[in-house]
Chains A and B, each alone.
Chain A
Amino acid sequence: MSKNRDVIQVKSLEKTYALGEIKVKALRGVSLSIAYGDFLVVTGRNGSGKSTLLHQLGLLDHPDAGEIFFAGQEVTLMPERRRTELRLRNIGYIFQEFALIPELTALENVMLPAMMIGARGSARKRAQELLARVDLENNLDHLPSQLSGGEQQKVAIARALINDPMIIFADEPTANLDSIAATDVISVFQSLNREADHTIVMVTHEPEETACGNRVITIADGLIR
């Protein structure tokens, strides 16, 4: 098996939260690989460790033990500066709670990560294209507070795509949406995966959403079942 076929390889990942005296073992040795072009759906009961896993893979947190290879590079011990760079260029992360900057318009939220790399004009142009792709071309100048939940989630998706990442993580992206908005968001992911060959890891509770990927894993009690 060639490592380079995989975007991500995870080996015996462990994460324990300490709540005072009590220790919560959220991940108990998860091993996993994600190949280019995968649409991986992660399910499991509440508190099973799905978000914890996604945080480690998205370089938002540090595991207690285990290794994560990102395109062949070990990342858990990387300096924060380089992890930030990876998050910027190679990872798109979509939070359950949208996580948009309230003072920025839809367009500005989307173009911000691109402004870190390229000129403002090209960032704006690309952000407009991405917002059009999620049907928000008429809401470019709306602040997050002036958008519906589904629209905000679509802005977050556009933002995650702006730097053309190797992989997109989405943690329950439809949990706050009604069924129509949810279907909308899922179809955006599907077309991204099929037409643009984006690698996607999505956590979901919805049984009908488990069918939209090409792989499903279930987490139970900090382990892949």
Chain B
Amino acid sequence: MKNEFKIPFFLLGRFMRGSNKWTLSLVIFLLAIAYINLIFVNSLFQGVISASNQQVINTSTGNIVITPVEGQEFISNAEATVSRAEQADEVNAAAAETEVPASLRYQVIDANFPVIAIDPEQESRVTNISQKMIQGSYLKAGDTDQIIIGRQVTGAQGAQNLSTFEGIQVGDKISLVVSGIPHEFTLKGIFYSKFLEADNRTFVTRQALDGLLPDLHDKASNIIVRIAKTGTEQTVIGQLRDRGITGTFNTWEAMAGQLTTVVDSFITINALLTTVGFLIAAVTIFIIIYVDISHRRQEIGILRAIGIKGYLIRTTYVFQSLVYTVLGVAVGAAVFFAVLVPYFWVHPFVLPLGDVTLAILVDDLIGRGFGVLLLGIASGLIPSIIVTRAKILDEIAGR
């Protein structure tokens, strides 16, 4: 190794030793803020997105929705299919759902909300509706004339276009009209999951369905599957196929419907804010490094005058800004993990779609960290190129 290669490390070491600790802290603090600014909004938005995704999964679809093979209306052997699905390693639970071809009637009001027949115990292992009762209670096995309804059905909010059952109380009678014939049910409970599409639905037990339409016994409109790890849906679909389960396999994403457009616009806003964040970081870093190097113009003139090669001087200042940005990113990451993440864990953002905490996206954190380092290198390189091209005498004289 050439001896001169040691010069940048030597100079950098002395510059750091001689630097004002307060100025250095301030520089690192500013760079840390620039990095946090880049990761915080991203993590928050990803938190929103994953909260809303999680809500779709938790309240209605599970991770995987199996629908009948094309051309068929139902999955036959529903119970056998559910147990077979549950045998797969990565599957936590599965539940059969059957859409009842019925409309609802309360007093004189007719309404068309989906009526779904479930095995309550099975369903509650896949979705969390059983924990979302705001009045009355959840269904249980043997409830042959009981029904539970989502809050949207009571005309709560944002349901103007549908006819709803405003003022309905637990214990009131609701009729299920099947092929023109009403069958009387009692309202057992009202649930509120905060996910509109889920809160639009009503549930009865499979035993009730057997009483109404015996032909639909052991037939399912769809089977919802809860898996151990969200994100591995495609793998699990492969496993289910291998187990001989036939049907059309959909992930929750494909079933989420309108929610994906909300998520899409969040992604767009996030991309925009990320771009702005990078611009702010770029300007901050550039100004900090530029000011720092400008203060050292005279010194750089002296170094050049005594014969220190330009590339060594440039390397020194690139290293210096690299050290600043590495420290800034490290401090920023420390604050993020030690302060912000725990804080939002304890005080999450309460949004209609659920509680939002900061998502930790390792790839993004690392990628953005490297982005900041690259900005640091560029910010060190540009002024030092300018400075090593200026006239030596002008620099020494401070002109």
A residues in contact (CB < 8 Å) with B: 55, 58, 60-61, 80-81, 84-89, 91, 93, 95, 97, 99-104, 108, 112-113, 115-120, 143, 159, 163
A143: chain B residues within 8 A (beta carbon): 18
Are B309 and A81 in contact, CB atoms less than 8 angstroms apart? yes
A86: chain B residues within 8 A (beta carbon): 307
In the complex, which of the residues A102, A108, A119 has the most CB atoms of chain B within 10 Å of its own CB atom?
Answer: A102
A117 is contacted by which of B3, B15, B303, B392 (Cβ under 8 Å)? B3
B181: Cβ under 8 A from any A Cβ: no
B41: Cβ under 8 A from any A Cβ: no
Docked Cα-Cα span, A81 to B10, in Å, equals 22
Are B393 and A104 in contact, CB atoms less than 8 angstroms apart? no
Residues of B359-399 whose CB lies within 8 A of A: 391-393, 396
Q: Taking A60-B305, A88-B306 as contacts, is the C-beta distance between A116 and B391 under 8 angstroms?
A: no
Are A84 and B10 in contact, CB atoms less than 8 angstroms apart? no
A81: chain B residues within 8 A (beta carbon): 309
Beyond A87-B305, A95-B396, A116-B309, list 15 extra A-B contacts (CB 8 Å).
A55-B393, A60-B305, A80-B310, A95-B305, A101-B14, A102-B299, A103-B14, A103-B18, A103-B19, A115-B6, A116-B3, A116-B308, A116-B312, A120-B6, A163-B307
Whole-angstrom distance between the Cβ of A160 and the nearest chain B Cβ: 8
B residues in contact (CB < 8 Å) with A: 3-4, 6-7, 10, 14-15, 17-19, 299, 302-310, 312, 391-393, 396
Whole-angstrom distance between the Cβ of A152 and the nearest chain B Cβ: 13
Whole-angstrom distance between the Cβ of B140 and the nearest chain A Cβ: 78
B307: chain A residues within 8 A (beta carbon): 84-89, 91, 113, 116, 163
Docked Cα-Cα span, A119 to B4, in Å, equals 9
B308: chain A residues within 8 A (beta carbon): 84, 88, 112-113, 116
Are B14 and A104 in contact, CB atoms less than 8 angstroms apart? yes
Are B3 and A101 in contact, CB atoms less than 8 angstroms apart? no
Whole-angstrom distance between the Cβ of A161 and the nearest chain B Cβ: 12
Q: Taking A61-B392, A102-B299, A103-B15 as contacts, is the C-beta distance between A93 and B305 under 8 angstroms?
A: yes
Docked Cα-Cα span, A35 to B275, in Å, equals 64
Smallest Cβ-Cβ distance to A162: which chain B residue: B306
Whole-angstrom distance between the Cβ of B27 and the nearest chain A Cβ: 16
Are A112 and B393 in contact, CB atoms less than 8 angstroms apart? no
Whole-angstrom distance between the Cβ of B356 and the nearest chain A Cβ: 48
Docked Cα-Cα span, A116 to B310, in Å, equals 12
A112: chain B residues within 8 A (beta carbon): 7, 10, 306, 308
A93 is contacted by which of B15, B19, B306, B309 (Cβ under 8 Å)? B306
Docked Cα-Cα span, A112 to B312, in Å, equals 12
Q: List 10 A-B contacts (CB under 8 A).
A: A61-B393, A99-B302, A102-B18, A103-B18, A112-B308, A115-B6, A116-B7, A116-B312, A118-B3, A119-B3
Are A84 and B302 in contact, CB atoms less than 8 angstroms apart? no
B14: chain A residues within 8 A (beta carbon): 101, 103-104, 108
Closest 4 CB pairs of A and B: A88-B307, A103-B18, A87-B307, A99-B302
Docked Cα-Cα span, A10 to B299, in Å, equals 30
Are A116 and B299 in contact, CB atoms less than 8 angstroms apart? no
Docked Cα-Cα span, A106 to B310, in Å, equals 23
In the complex, which of the residues A55, A58, A116 has the most CB atoms of chain B within 10 Å of its own CB atom?
Answer: A116
